[in-house]
Amino acid sequence: MATFLGINLFALSGQLLVGLINGSFYALLSLGLAIIFGLLKIINFAQGAMYMLGAFAAFLALQYLGMNYWFALIFVPLAVGAVGILMERFLIRPIANEDHLYSLLLTFGFALVLQGLFTHWFGSSGLPYAIPDELKGGTRLPFMYLPNYRAWIIVASLIVCVGTWWMIEKTKLGAYLRAGTENPALMQAFGINVPLMVTLTFGFGVALAGFAGVMAAPVYSVSPEMGSNILIVVFAIVVIGGMGSIGGAILTGLAMGVVEGLTKYFYPEASTTVIFFVMVIVLLLKPAGLFGKEA
């Protein structure tokens, strides 16, 4: 067994890999939250429920429609995004001019309903979703075994994250989006349909959660609780990173996954709490968050 300074490299790199995978999901979810926050100034408490919805949709599509993983990866985010669009249009927009705390509470209520419905239909135990045939098996690296599907998660989430970052920071559409974040009234005066942009942005942010849900279905069991558990961690990550920058949200998500993985190796008892402790330290040293702009 490969050891270095008493550290079992095999086990350590295994935990690092798990950390990177969790980090990929953290990155996808906090990215969605950051995009929605940028334009709507609200935190979507239903983001976790949408992630759960994505996983269940993939499971159900396979079960009842025979839709395989690859199609699910395309259609499920679209469907979840559509749910998000309906939610924005009919629930969030009517109270857009009220205190933002109300829209936060509304998304929380929506999450409770979704989670409650799925618990009622499927119970709280997890359901299995098979890894697609193309990604079964793994590769033997010098000091670890790398399952193909896990490598795929990291690569695919990175592509989606970087693609989203590029779209927002480098394209004209992204420029509109950033301008809308700065001054929606002025954008409207220039003839941009801001309400439509808000709706689509919300849909896109939610679709990212749906995408994460499909990706997660084969590695975590599909269960109604899966969304709320991860969401609270993602909130801590958002506080750590600050929502001022898209790139910051992605980096913080990945980094916290790795931190969690390392803790699992060195001090497993603290692995569930370490991210919250990091949040406490960041609050003490840099209250606005690592990438935060506001005071």
Binding of residue 236 to another protein (CB under 8 A): yes
Among 71, 75, 122, 276, the residue binding another protein under the rule CB under 8 A is 276
Rounded to the nearest whole angstrom, what is the least distance from the CB of residue 87 to another protein in the complex? 10
Rounded to the nearest whole angstrom, what is the least distance from the CB of residue 60 to another protein in the complex? 19
Alpha helices per DSSP H over the chain: 9-40, 47-60, 69-87, 100-122, 148-170, 172-182, 184-189, 194-216, 226-241, 246-266, 274-285
Side chain identity at residue 270, one-letter code: A
Among 168, 208, 217, 238, the residue binding another protein under the rule CB under 8 A is 238
In this structure, are strands 144-147 and 138-141 parallel, antiparallel, or unpaired? antiparallel
Give the per-residue contact string, 79-98, with another protein (x = CB under 8 A; - = no). ------------x--xx--x
Among 43, 62, 72, 177, the residue binding another protein under the rule CB under 8 A is 43
Rounded to the nearest whole angstrom, what is the least distance from the CB of residue 113 to another protein in the complex? 4
**b/e sequence 147-163, b meaning 16+ C-beta within 10 Å:** bebbbbbbeebbebbee
Give the DSSP H or E segment for 7.
strand 7-8
Rounded to the nearest whole angstrom, what is the least distance from the CB of residue 116 to another protein in the complex? 4
Q: Considering beta carbons, is residue 96 or 146 the nearer one to another protein? A: 96
Contact criterion met (CB below 8 Å) for 213 and 46: no
Rounded to the nearest whole angstrom, what is the least distance from the CB of residue 262 to another protein in the complex? 17
Binding of residue 293 to another protein (CB under 8 A): no
Rounded to the nearest whole angstrom, what is the least distance from the CB of residue 3 to another protein in the complex? 28
Binding of residue 268 to another protein (CB under 8 A): no
Q: Considering beta carbons, is residue 114 or 214 the nearer one to another protein? A: 114
Give the DSSP H or E segment for 138.
strand 138-141
Which residues ranging from 135 to 194 are in contact with another protein (CB under 8 A)? Answer: none
Determine how many CB atoms are found less than 10 A away from the CB of residue 46: 28
Binding of residue 277 to another protein (CB under 8 A): yes
Contact criterion met (CB below 8 Å) for 257 and 153: no
Side chain identity at residue 81, one-letter code: G
Binding of residue 103 to another protein (CB under 8 A): yes
Determine how many CB atoms are found less than 10 A away from the CB of residue 126: 15
Rounded to the nearest whole angstrom, what is the least distance from the CB of residue 288 to another protein in the complex? 8
Binding of residue 124 to another protein (CB under 8 A): no
Q: Residue 203 half-sphere exposure, CB side, CA atoms within 13 Å?
A: 16
Binding of residue 273 to another protein (CB under 8 A): yes
Binding of residue 109 to another protein (CB under 8 A): yes
Stretches 142-150, 179-187, 193-201, 231-239: which one binds another protein (CB under 8 A)?
231-239
Contact criterion met (CB below 8 Å) for 194 and 184: yes
